[in-house]
Structure 1
Amino acid sequence: MERQRTIRWGILSTAKIGIEKVIPAMQQADHCEIVAISSRSGDRAREAADQLDINRAVGSYEELLELPEVEAVYNPLPNHLHVPWSVKALEAGKHVLCEKPIGLSADEAEKLLSETRKHPDLKVMEAFMYRHHPRWIRAKELVESGILGKVRTIRSFFSYYNDDPENVRNKPDIGGGGLMDIGCYCISVPRFLFGEEPEQVFGTREIDPDLGIDRLTSGVMEFPRGTATFTCATQLAPHQSVRIFGTEGKMEIDMPFNAPVDQPTSIHLHTGEESRKISFEPSNQYTVQGELFSKAILEDKEVPTALEDAVANMKVIEAVVRSDIEGVWTGC
């Protein structure tokens, strides 16, 4: 039997999310082959390569981008390095899957979008992995089917506890803070489900006096068809949930963003007097994401989520921050 064509991937850095979640998941995909990993430390790169059974380890990001066997790169670097190294990857002729949020600002995101237009044969996508999980695909179908009636409001919550001053998520100068790290999901979800952009937002943030990052952020987004509210926090008990409310029903999604890969997941649907659970077989959303991106390259088709979506998400994030600073509703 002829071996399936794969896309040969290189990994920019030994970031924890890559080592623990994304790389092992992508190695399970039919069309992904991880051929190299890089770090600023050759020793760290070799250690990660040995751990993950990757053939090649290199001691710089530049060297990885020069490897002719690497066709696509996964960029899980800290937020302030997302756009610079994604641009370098494009200039080196590589496709790019970049972690969220796409950059530090909408202007940065626009810069990356502009760069992609210079390389029309290369694919670039922001790695909002949750959107590719079968449960979320079904949730959007249900919303669009009208089973909930007119969806009027969506409520999202995402929190964890991390006050380590050395953690990149707690460094404000490189894009740390709750809004950038996990609030971006809470903004992405209603945009995904409504299929439109908010017209204005109101946000409020609590800044950690020592770390200088937002540790508790809440916001309201006003869409043409309804509203969305969210809270994200980096110093609260861990919790994730999304609730969708329509004129004829509601939908509840527990653990919406970090769905377990080794057990079934579900949607709880309540319509009229009927309540039912829709179950889904175990699925690794990182595997699905890597497979879909690789197939987009192989089949030369559009990626599942266009980069324009990443730019739009950054504009809403910035509007939440402006609203908090100015104390008023702010347009996006």
Structure 2
Amino acid sequence: MKKVKWGILGCANIARKAVIPGIIGADNSELYAVASRNKEKAADFAEEFDADKYYDDYQKLLEDEEIEAVYIPLPNGLHKEWTIKAAEAGKHILCEKPLSGKSKAEAEEMFAAAKKNKVKLMEAFMYRFQPFVIKLKEMIEKGVIGEVKEIKSNFAFDISDRKDDIRLNAELDGGALNDIGCYTVNISRYLMGGLPTKVANFFEKETAAGVDLSGSAILYFEGGVFASLYYSLNSYNEQDLELVGTEGIIRIPGFFSWLEDNYFLLDKNGEVERIPVETGPQYLLEVEAFAEAVLNDTEVPLKVDEETYANLKVMDAMRKSAAEETVVKL
């Protein structure tokens, strides 16, 4: 089987713990090179994962003609620069979410560069390849709980004491919305199959010029469906999802924790049924799906208009709502 040769721009934890193991485990992919601005770190990464090459400069990796695709786990504020440079170097790109930490308009520049250079670009929302997430979507479409009336999505943990954490760095587009709030937006849109028509959002900020430490939003979808979102980098751990319908409720404890022993709680007619669900290797599945699109020259599974632009459009509206303290229509 032909395999896509991957290069990694940056030695972030998400690369070490999740995506590189996914590349190594994928049938249609192989790890070829890693890069870091710290030569020793790059060398250690290459040795740890048996990569053929390592570079102490991102641009040098992009100039390697053997590399077909790159994964970008860099801080949000560097996504645009290196996505465009990767596209110009003729590399297909899997970039961590959010594709842009600033706006939909910035993402449009990135996709324009990909289109101009005839390479594929996909935002890395790995959880969307989870079997239990796909099963949840099927249950909603089958009307297991009737018509959905509310989605309650909470993703929170506390890193407020880590002052050097890039997720708390405003210059690198950190903040709760970009880091984890994007997931709560994404799952709400995915389950509803479209965009909300109105958005109201509030932020708690460390300082006026600082990042959002936490936020809460209401998304209103046509037909009277509400999504209640809470996302925080300074709260007690909570990663639960709940869907309230006209005929029942589905609760998924630890939804955003991607637990191996995950399950759904289906509450109908006063009885609660515990439904075991299949959990898959989401990063490997993501890598395989992207590599398949590269090898077969087909569209990437998470499409730009339906996915990336839609998510960022909602996030833009949430920022506008918080700044102006008003409801924003989409």
Q: Is the structural similarity TM-score above 0.5?
A: yes
Residue number in structure 2 paired with 1:237: 236
CA separation in 2, counterparts of 1:37 and 1:253?
37
Match of 2:17 in 1: 20
Query: 1:270 Cα deviation (Å)?
Result: 2.4
Once residues 52 and 297 of structure 1 are traced to their aligned partners in structure 2, the CA distance between those partners, rounded to angstroms, is 23
The 5 Å alignment of 1:199-278 reads: 199-209=197-207, 212-225=210-223, 226-260=225-259, 263-278=260-275
Listed one character per residue, the Cα deviations across residues 161-180 of structure 1 (whole Å, up to 9, x for unaligned) are 11222111011121111011
Q: TM-score, normalised by structure 2?
A: 0.95
Of 318, 321, 324, which residue of structure 1 is paired with 2:322?
A: 324
2:301 maps to which residue?
Answer: 304
Tell me the residue number matched to 2:174: 176
Please report the RMSD computed on the Cα atoms of aligned residues, expressed in angstroms: 1.5
Q: Secondary structure at the match of 2:25?
A: coil
Q: Does 1:48 align with 2:45?
A: yes
Aligned partners of 2:163, 2:96: CA distance in 1, in Å?
Answer: 22
SS at match of 1:277: strand
Given that 1:130 and 1:256 are in contact with CA atoms closer than 8 Å, whether structure 2 keeps it comes out as no
Q: State the Cα distance separating 1:67 from its structure 2 match.
A: 0.8
**Correspondences of 1:91-106 after superposition (within 5 Å):** 91-103=88-100, 104-106=102-104
Match of 1:61 in 2: 58
1:75 maps onto 2:75 in alignment: no
Q: Select between 77-86 and 208-217 the one with higher mean Cα deviation.
A: 208-217
Residue in 2 aligned with 1:124? 121
Deviation at 1:52, TM superposition (A): 1.8
Contact 2:35-2:57 within 8 A present in 1 as well:
yes
Structure 1 gap ranges (5+): none
CA–CA separation in structure 2 for the residues paired with 1:15 and 1:273:
46
Pick which of 17-26 and 174-183 moved more: 17-26
Distance 2:266 2:4 in 1: 38
Count of residues paired in the alignment: 326
Deviations 1:39-59 (A, max 9, x none): 112111001111222221111
The one-letter code sitting in structure 2 at the alignment partner of 1:193 is L
Residue 130 of structure 1 and its aligned partner are, at CA, apart by 0.8
Once the two structures are superposed, residues 218-253 of structure 1 have per-residue CA deviations (whole angstroms, 9 ceiling, x without a partner) of 000011131101111101112101111111111112
One-letter identity of the residue aligned with 1:249: G
Contact 1:147–1:271 at 8 Å: present in 2 too?
A: no
Cα deviation for residue 210 of structure 1 reads: 9.2
Retained in 2: the 8 A contact 1:130–1:258?
A: no
Structure 2, gaps ≥5 residues long = none
